[in-house]
């Protein structure tokens, strides 16, 4: 039985590219903030001029290269001597931490496709990683199945869904705007072109309805103006679709709390689908695609359409816009389903993973 370190506690390690600050955090940092707050954990990540999230012990490290980041994180971990180390998105760092800090239980958390991730591209590498760590944690069964490709032993491979702290959401508005909202990154895989095509085709048949796009190429106010973003903005404005560009996460949540319909039309296989969960929790009627982990998140609480099918997306918009009772049913089902992902529920499962001698 592995000896637990006397220092105790949990340290969560962010990818070097993730900002841990209000208004700048991406999806991984938001998930880590929720889990750290619930567990009383500390967080290690890149140094930044922006103040980190309040109420969480944040340990910034400085570095000049990816290897320098790993070295700086390992030095900080040696100082903290945590009983549990949760490393997000960094297989090599997780393996190093397990070897150099044998008194700690190290888990690797994966938020994206594992079979194309450096250090995990072969079945052999994924098997070795599983053997060396306390667990590999995937944010959906879809990702877990991808990791398990070619493996005979998956005993230490587990699913832990992303959390959402429902008490932090803005209150749902009683009278919802007749609005169809897209909130997400403006990149091809998120299906923004399909949203624009579907909304442009549907709106002429929906008097009094509008559509709105929120997002940028990346998270944060310095999101770049890429050629793809410019093209999508031109298409949207030509179709009479409002274009807000990047907004802070809180503003995006507020927009979903007041909109009648939210669309998550991803073309790529979403590892999880945090925006879909936020939309359900906000009380909007959700339309999403059958892509990756989205069906796991949505269940029966939203309309699911084929990925990349703008005509099917348009039909879903027309159907929901014309049927207020259907929107109300989906809103109620979405709120109920979102409770399964509340941070308190997910954090309790995480604690059980930390405590288990052999995760199952």
pLDDT in the model for residue 218:
80
Q: What phi and psi values does residue 108 have, to the nearest 5 degrees?
A: -100, 125
pLDDT in the model for residue 5:
34
Number of C-beta neighbours around residue 303 at 10 A:
22
* Cβ density class 320-330: b for 16+ within 10 Å, e for less: bbeeeeebeeb
pLDDT grade, residue 27 (50/70/90)? very high
* Nearest by Cα to 284 from 337, 341, 206: 337
Element (H, E) at 7: none
**Residues 6 or more apart in contact with residue 99 via CB below 8 angstroms:** 132
The number of C-alpha atoms within 13 Å of 123 and in the hemisphere containing its C-beta is 8
pLDDT in the model for residue 359:
66
* Mean pLDDT for the chain overall: 94
Q: Taking 70 as the threshold, does the pLDDT of residue 58 lie above it?
A: yes
Q: Whole-angstrom Cα distance, residue 27 to residue 219?
A: 9
Element (H, E) at 284: none
The residue count for the chain: 360
pLDDT grade, residue 169 (50/70/90)? very high
Is 165 within 8 Å of 341 (Cβ atoms)?
no
Is 27 within 8 Å of 100 (Cβ atoms)?
no
* 284 to 34, 151, 321, 324: CA distances (angstroms): 22, 40, 12, 12
Q: Whole-angstrom Cα distance, residue 281 to residue 302?
A: 12
What one-character-per-residue DSSP string does 80-122 give?
A: H--SEEEEES-HHHHHHHHHH-TTSEEEEEE-S-STTSTT-SS
- Tens-place pLDDT, residues 108-137: 999 999 999 999 999 999 999 999 999 999
Q: What phi and psi values does residue 88 have, to the nearest 5 degrees?
A: -100, 120
- Tens-place pLDDT, residues 198-225: 999 999 999 999 999 999 988 777 788 8
Cα 270 to chain center, whole Å? 9
- What's the mean pLDDT in 59-80? 96
- What's the mean pLDDT in 304-313? 98
* Nearest by Cα to 288 from 257, 266, 258, 318: 266
Q: Whole-angstrom Cα distance, residue 334 to residue 171?
A: 15
What one-character-per-residue DSSP string does 17-28 give?
A: T---STTT--HH
pLDDT in the model for residue 360:
56
Q: Whole-angstrom Cα distance, residue 329 to residue 116?
A: 39
Cα 32 to chain center, whole Å? 10
- Tens-place pLDDT, residues 268-288: 999 999 999 999 999 999 999
- What's the mean pLDDT in 227-237? 97
28, two tokens:
């991984």
First-to-final CA distance of the chain? 17
Alpha helix (H) ranges present in the chain? 27-39, 66-80, 91-100, 123-132, 141-147, 192-202, 227-238, 249-258, 274-281, 294-298, 310-321, 324-338, 343-355
Q: Taking 60 as the threshold, does the pLDDT of residue 170 lie above it?
A: yes
Tokens 């220092």: give the residue. Answer: 7
pLDDT grade, residue 2 (50/70/90)? very low
The rounded percent of the chain whose pLDDT value lies above 90 is 90
Tokens 């009278």: give the residue. Answer: 175
What DSSP designation does 44 have?
A: E
Is 105 within 8 Å of 85 (Cβ atoms)?
yes
């Amino acid at each position: 039985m592995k000896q637990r370190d006397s220092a105790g506690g949990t340290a969560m390690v962010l990818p070097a590219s993730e900002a841990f600050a209000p208004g700048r955090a991406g999806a991984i940092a938001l998930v880590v903030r929720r889990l750290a707050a619930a567990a009383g954990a500390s967080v290690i990540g890149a140094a930044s001029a922006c103040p980190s999230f309040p109420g969480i012990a944040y340990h910034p490290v400085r570095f000049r290269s990816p290897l320098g980041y790993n070295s700086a994180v390992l030095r900080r971990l040696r100082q903290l001597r945590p009983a549990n180390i949760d490393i997000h998105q960094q297989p090599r760092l997780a393996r190093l931490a397990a070897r150099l800090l044998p008194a700690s239980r190290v888990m690797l958390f994966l938020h994206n496709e594992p079979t194309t991730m450096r250090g995990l591209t072969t079945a052999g590498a994924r098997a070795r990683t599983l053997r060396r760590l306390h667990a590999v944690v995937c944010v959906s069964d879809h990702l877990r199945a991808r990791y398990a490709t070619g493996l005979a032993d998956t005993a230490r491979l587990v699913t832990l869904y992303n959390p959402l702290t429902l008490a932090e959401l803005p209150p749902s508005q009683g009278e919802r705007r007749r609005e169809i909202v897209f909130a997400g990154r403006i990149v091809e895989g998120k299906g923004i072109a399909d949203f624009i095509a579907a909304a442009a085709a549907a709106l002429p048949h929906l008097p009094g309805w509008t559509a709105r796009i929120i997002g940028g190429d990346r998270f944060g106010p310095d999101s770049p103006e890429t050629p793809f973003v410019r093209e999508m903005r031109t298409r949207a404005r030509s179709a009479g679709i409002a274009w807000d560009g990047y907004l802070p996460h809180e503003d995006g949540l507020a927009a979903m709390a007041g909109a009648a319909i939210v669309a998550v039309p991803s073309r790529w296989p979403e590892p999880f689908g945090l925006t879909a969960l936020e939309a359900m929790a906000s009380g909007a009627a959700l339309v999403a695609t059958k892509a990756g982990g989205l069906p796991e998140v949505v269940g029966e609480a939203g309309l699911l359409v084929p990925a990349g099918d703008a005509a099917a997306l348009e039909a879903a918009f027309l159907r929901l816009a014309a049927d207020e009772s259907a929107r109300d049913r989906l809103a109620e089902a979405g709120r109920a389903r979102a409770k399964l992902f509340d941070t308190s529920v997910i954090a309790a499962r995480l604690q059980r993973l930390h405590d288990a001698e052999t995760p199952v």
